[in-house]
């Protein structure tokens, strides 16, 4: 019976893969249609003649940047949309390995006396900085290295005014209105080619004066809930402190408030804006400082890191850097393969673990977690060597470099959230997602992919936690998806919260990487979220999470992989005991229960324990198979799938049966 179920599940997985990647016979109508439509942004059907004769109306945009032919991935300067202005001065930040780098910075403590100034606007103030990329059309057309030359954006005549700038990588300040000499209202630029998603900010201020308290109000924040109401502070970087004290980013700000903006914004009343207001005192006179929502990690930072990794003669033996594809703007999407070279045994026996990060540009903690993961995995510790000997790691450190370059919060240059496009079959609209799925499909066909994890950051919750996929309908697998996050919590109890995890599949998440990869056959498919703010656990309660914390959780992830995939056969029996205790404590997908596993020893397990646990694995109450999920894979052709009509028939039969019974 188990074998039959396995065959059915594998058949369903193959059907899903075929739907995600339709196979078209060469020369067929569908093949010709896809070949033409995927090369162009728009096609027209000639209704007067043969409807199969298509005429392209817009130019080719995808073959302008063919895939790189070089085996070694040379450095490539970031490409920008042509309408974007970019300053010539490169922005470089130091990230010290000691001192403030590892300090625990406390959250802001509210006094109840925080003021909430209403927006004044430019009618009563003076616009001293204004920069909106202007395009003749509201969609991406073409790109260039370095974008366009800068024009004058700072318009103040008062030499005592602060000087603002954001026309650099990941910057996104749009407008500054001077209300008084110490009060400035700031507006952020929406994601390119949208009017939404103003959360991330990163900009530069010059001409500073110390011992003066300035108030800054960002007046067009997009989200109604924010961690600024939980005590999160913005980040400040002083170039003088960096050069004199080797000091990097640090938390700043007092009298912090986050509240609804009552001023009309020109949008629908259903989309109100919010104000983030705070006081700031600069550390030096005539300093150049940067303010940011979280620790920046740019596309250039990633390339510098990857090239350094590739050029290391020791790490180059087990680390291969390749280009997965190119983005809409022509930026390279890199991926790493990390594994020890196979000598005698069949390399296909090695299992695969896949990690991705930075699909949302503003979620910079995901890049720092990925860096910590790679640093540990490519290190010379015995644990790292064991991981490389046992597994093949496929790592995509930055899924959305276009969004990172232009300073978007969430979207790519097509104005879409890429983490909602994993069921799309249109390659040219979302090339990175298409090639990521293709890589996963090939890996699944050739080897066993045992884990997938997509790294993110969270703007409303504290701690680090995971989202998983509840394994309903898989006998002997109930609550198995909770074991790895539980072990990760035990290894990082002051940063990772198991009780904040969730394993339910919501309808709004059906197009995400986690769910689609799970449907492709990877049982342990996760999203790991790190708070932009801080921790509420143990001695780290009420403190911010910093760069070192994010890197450390990447290292802990590696260590937990060894715990979870312990080759000792008794380890499987220990997992069954953990599942048994989770069920006894009432752990479920939406409310996982943290349990004590310190008394578990794999050598205490016995076959009787296994039998007892198997008896408890009853699925009568929630027998939901893979085919009964509400997720519907989009068809590969315009034809309505027959499966849908069969569902309707089954429903009608069920209804008639109920009527007869009544």
Residue 379 DSSP one-character state? S
Side by side, the strands of the sheet bearing 289-292 are 163-165, 202-206, 289-292, 235-238, 250-251
Strands 391-396 and 351-357: parallel
Determine contact, residues 391/366, Cβ cutoff 8 Å. Answer: no
Q: Could you give the count of Cα atoms lying within 13 Å of 371 in the half-sphere of its Cβ?
A: 19
How does strand 351-357 pair with strand 449-458?
parallel
Closest Cα partner for 351 from 564, 640, 56, 509?
564
**CA distance linking residue 322 with residue 333, whole number of Å:** 9
Structure tokens at 217: 């109000």
Question: How many angstroms separate the Cα of 68 from the Cα of each of 8, 53, 181, 238?
Answer: 40, 33, 51, 39
Assigned token pair, 284: 């030096």
Which residue in the block uniquely carries the two structure tokens 């089954």? 650
Token pair 């799309």 in the structure block, residue: 424
Cβ neighbours around 135 below 10 Å, total:
15
Tell me the DSSP string of 62-85.
STTSPPP--SS----PPEEETT-B
In three-state secondary structure terms, 96 is: coil
CA torsion sign, 197 to 198 to 201 to 204?
positive
DSSP state of 397: S
- Three-class DSSP category at 129: strand
State the chain's maximal CA–CA distance in angstroms. 86
Q: Among candidates 65, 74, 87, which has minimal Cα distance to 169? A: 87
Rounded to whole angstroms, the Cα distance separating 333 from 327 reads: 7
Per-state percent for the chain, helix, strand, coil, to nearest 5 = 30, 20, 50
Q: How far apart are CA 639 and CA 621, in angstroms?
A: 36
State how far the Cα of 97 lies from the Cα of 103, in Å rounded to an integer: 11
Mind giving me the DSSP string for 200-233? Answer: --EEEEES--BT-EEEEEEEEE--S--GGGGT--
d(CA 594, CA 603): 23
So which residues are the catalytic ones?
Answer: 529
DSSP string, 2-22: HHHHHHHHHHHHHHHHHHHS-
501 secondary structure, DSSP code: -
What single-letter DSSP state applies at residue 316? G
């Amino acid at each position: 019976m188990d074998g039959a179920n396995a065959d059915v599940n594998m058949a369903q997985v193959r059907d899903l893969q075929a739907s995600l990647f339709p196979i078209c016979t060469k020369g067929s109508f569908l093949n010709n249609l896809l070949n033409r439509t995927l090369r162009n942004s728009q096609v027209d059907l000639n209704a007067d003649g043969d409807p199969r004769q298509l005429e392209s109306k817009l130019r080719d945009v995808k073959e302008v940047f063919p895939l790189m032919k070089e085996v070694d991935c040379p450095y490539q300067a970031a490409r920008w949309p042509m309408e974007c202005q970019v300053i010539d001065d490169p922005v470089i930040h130091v990230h010290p390995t000691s001192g403030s780098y590892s300090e625990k910075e406390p959250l802001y403590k509210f006094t109840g006396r925080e003021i909430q100034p209403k927006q004044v606007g430019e009618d009563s103030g003076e616009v001293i900085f204004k920069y909106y990329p202007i395009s003749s059309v509201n969609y991406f057309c073409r790109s260039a290295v370095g974008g366009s030359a800068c024009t004058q954006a700072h318009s103040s005549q008062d030499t005592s005014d602060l000087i603002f700038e954001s026309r650099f990588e990941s910057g996104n300040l749009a407008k500054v209105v001077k209300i008084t000499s110490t009060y400035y209202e700031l507006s952020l630029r929406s994601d390119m080619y949208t009017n939404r998603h103003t959360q991330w900010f990163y900009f530069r201020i010059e001409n500073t004066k110390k011992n003066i308290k300035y108030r800054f109000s960002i007046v067009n924040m997009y989200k109604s809930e924010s961690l600024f109401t939980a005590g999160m502070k913005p980040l400040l970087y002083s170039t003088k402190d960096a050069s004199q004290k080797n000091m990097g980013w640090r938390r700043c700000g007092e009298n912090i408030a986050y509240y609804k903006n009552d001023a009309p914004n020109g949008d629908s009343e259903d989309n109100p804006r919010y104000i983030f207001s705070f006081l700031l005192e600069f550390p030096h006179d005539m300093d150049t400082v940067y303010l940011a929502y979280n620790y920046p990690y740019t596309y250039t930072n990633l390339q510098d890191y990857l090239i350094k990794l590739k050029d290391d003669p020791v790490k180059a033996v087990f680390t291969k850097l390749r280009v997965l594809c190119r983005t809409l703007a022509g930026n390279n999407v890199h991926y790493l393969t990390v594994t020890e070279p196979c000598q005698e045994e069949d390399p296909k026996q090695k299992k695969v673990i896949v990690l991705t990060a930075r699909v949302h540009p503003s979620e910079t903690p995901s890049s720092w977690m990925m860096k910590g993961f790679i640093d540990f995995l490519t290190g010379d510790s015995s644990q790292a060597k064991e991981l490389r000997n046992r597994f093949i790691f496929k790592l995509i450190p930055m899924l959305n470099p276009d969004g990172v370059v232009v300073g978007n919060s969430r979207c790519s240059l097509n104005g879409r959230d890429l983490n909602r496009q994993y069921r799309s079959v249109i390659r040219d609209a979302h090339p990175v997602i298409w090639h990521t799925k293709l890589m996963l499909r090939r890996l699944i066909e050739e080897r066993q992919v045992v884990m997938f994890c997509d790294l993110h950051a969270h703007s409303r919750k504290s701690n680090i936690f995971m989202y998983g996929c509840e394994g309903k309908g898989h006998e002997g697998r109930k609550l198995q998806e909770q074991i790895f996050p539980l072990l990760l919590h035990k290894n990082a109890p002051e940063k990772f919260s198991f009780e904040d995890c969730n394993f339910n599949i919501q309808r709004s998440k059906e197009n995400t990487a986690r769910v689609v990869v799970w449907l492709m056959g990877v049982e342990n498919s996760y999203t790991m979220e790190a708070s932009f703010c801080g921790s509420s656990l143990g001695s780290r309660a009420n403190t911010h999470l910093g760069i070192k914390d994010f890197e450390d959780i990447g290292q802990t992830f590696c260590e937990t992989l060894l715990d979870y995939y312990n080759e000792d056969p008794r380890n499987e029996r220990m997992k069954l005991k953990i599942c048994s205790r989770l069920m006894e404590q009432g752990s479920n997908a939406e409310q996982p229960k943290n349990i004590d596993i310190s008394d578990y020893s794999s050598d205490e397990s016995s076959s009787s324990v296994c039998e007892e646990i198997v008896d408890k694995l009853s699925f009568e109450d929630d027998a939901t198979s893979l085919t009964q999920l509400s997720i519907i894979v989009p068809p590969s052709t315009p034809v309505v799938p027959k499966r849908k009509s069969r569902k309707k028939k089954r429903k009608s039969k069920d209804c008639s049966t109920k009527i007869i019974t009544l």
